[in-house]
Homo-oligomer: A and B are copies of this chain.
Amino acid sequence: MPYVNIKITNEGVSTAQKQQLIAGTTELLVKVLNKDPATTFVLIEEVNTDNWGVGYDSVTTLRQQKQNTKS
């Protein structure tokens, strides 16, 4: 009966990667806590980088700063 919510930035996560996250998380809960996969929910939420802040800045800004230092 576990409910797992994974929030990540919406930076091009593929369907295959989402399937890996779902299967991997479910397997972890089966292995560690012997949970029933049939009632194990895994939800993935993709958040816009304008809407995710770390250290005072949005991820959009952080990515741009990183880009500028490279160029």
Contacts and interface: CB of A to CB of B under 8 A. Distances in A.
Interface string A41-65: 1111111001111111111110000
Copies in the complex: 6
B28 A21 contact: yes
Given A28-B25, A43-B51, A8 B19 contact: no
A59 B15 CA distance: 12
A43 B47 contact: yes
16 contacts: A4-B4, A6-B29, A7-B43, A8-B35, A15-B58, A17-B32, A19-B57, A22-B53, A22-B58, A23-B56, A38-B55, A39-B39, A40-B54, A40-B55, A41-B54, A43-B52
